[in-house]
Structure 1
């Protein structure tokens, strides 16, 4: 764990920090309470040493997340959601004149069959959805892709065609101008549209619910 590391070596292995990160997220424990939780647990687990809250924060903030990519071709749902950088409400802004800190934007690709996330990227609110299609799906074997109208851009269709998906399930915008010779493809998309929209929403619902429940009071600044 200290290979190629500059400065003071780590005292706690990566697996221990991962355990602390899961405890922090799912039990909603601030870092000081997490330190106390580990101290109490050390009496029941031989060899368990509690880390101080500063170490927990620093290591957890730099924890690398390795999401396994499926080996087989999958149907993916791609979507994004925005979350506030802080959990303070509108009352704070109204009474104290605090400017809004902006939003973070979470872009996610989810396996429709298993509903497991297979890739995600975090950007600021100015990044468009279609910009993130290639970073999300570049290493994924895609059989089909379900996306809403925000991805109805030429670059997204070109990328999906390069992945071998001739007619991805991208919802066509109402004001889109369809080129000659593509009416049949448009009709097929409309026929599948309702079903694909529902599968997209269902696949993304679980991930968004998890993000809303585990987002800390203060998130990353961009």
Structure 2
């Protein structure tokens, strides 16, 4: 990669500096992120009790909104389920609201099946998406113990993300086991992104013709997105050598002709770093760990963390400009 190649001379290049243009609004939004009324709103209280079911069976005491709100408050404070129950119960007493709080066993049971509502920001036009993945630790023996003693339980989950670099919104995600490759999930992320996609940006780990085919298969042929993935070094032809004409081969020929840094600048590849910012926001919420033990609960736990991260960005988002 270029940044590794130029590392011995990088101290001569001044670091980029940025300034927040909307500091008063951004500062007020950061304060509002800690307002309990933002997370336990009047709408959540109004929808706390479930509607009566018309089919045979027992009636539920708590709606999906009540379970999701309680789990979200626990995730914000990084509380286990028992402490989450006590925390929300104390909030109901202080707010003088006559509502029953789900106990920790109900939270553990309903966390596997609750439907987490994912709010999508309204779009006014086509957007770029940046794709990447990260690992999340959960309970169980480590990798050394698993290989040493034949442990079948995995201790990592892999979170695949697609992020809008302009709004910092996480628009699609998939949680898989640690054996799933990154390119295998590209089609699912692009398909779940919805709307009109202008460009798909990813790092060199996604390089390969199957990734291009997966993206083309899930997007309409009348408006295909641009695919911006740097080809690997062995794929770069000699300068002036003819290429096959595919999009990947055109990228490789342009890198050979203009250089990798100029290719990144022309295609906006620098936006790829913003997905790392989104990953850091999620790991600040969960500490890079999952507390659930079953895969279904882990999927909903991650969905709640992503909903918190998106709401935080919706409340307070900095508008920056580069200072030269």
Q: TM-score, normalised by structure 1?
A: 0.81
Match for residue 279 of structure 2? 207
If asked which structure has higher relative contact order (CA below 8 Å, sep 6+), I would say 2
Q: Distance in 2 between matches of 1:108 and 1:42?
A: 35
Where do 5+ consecutive residues of structure 2 fail to align? 1-49, 238-242, 297-324
Residue 119 (structure 1) shift: 0.6
Change over 3 Å in CA distance of 1:86–1:218 after alignment to 2? farther
How many Å separate the matches in 1 of 2:250 and 2:143? 48
Moved more, 46-55 or 209-218: 209-218
Q: Which residue is 2:131 aligned to?
A: 78
Unaligned runs of at least 5 residues, structure 1: none
3-state DSSP class of the match of 1:185?
A: helix
Is residue 17–residue 60 contact of structure 1 (8 Å, CA) maintained in 2?
A: yes
Deviations 1:172-210 (A, max 9, x none): 122226643466533269334367454212233223441
- Partner residue of 2:101 out of 50, 64, 77: 50
- Shift in Å, 1:167: 3.9
For residues 109-138 of structure 1, the C-alpha deviation after alignment (integer angstroms, 9 at most, x for no partner) is: 111111111011111111111111111111
Q: For 1:6-155, list aligned pairs within 5 A.
A: 7-45=57-95, 46-67=97-118, 68=120, 71=123, 72-86=125-139, 93=145, 99=151, 101-139=154-192, 140=194, 141-155=196-210
Q: How many residues align?
A: 220
Hey, what's the Cα distance between the residues in 1 that align with 2:121 and 2:191?
11
Q: Which residue of 149, 172, 193 maps to 2:264? A: 193
Alpha-carbon distance, 1:81 to partner: 0.8
TM-score for the superposition, normalised by structure 2 = 0.58
Instruction: Select the structure that is richer in helix.
Output: 2
Change (3 A) 1:128 1:98: closer
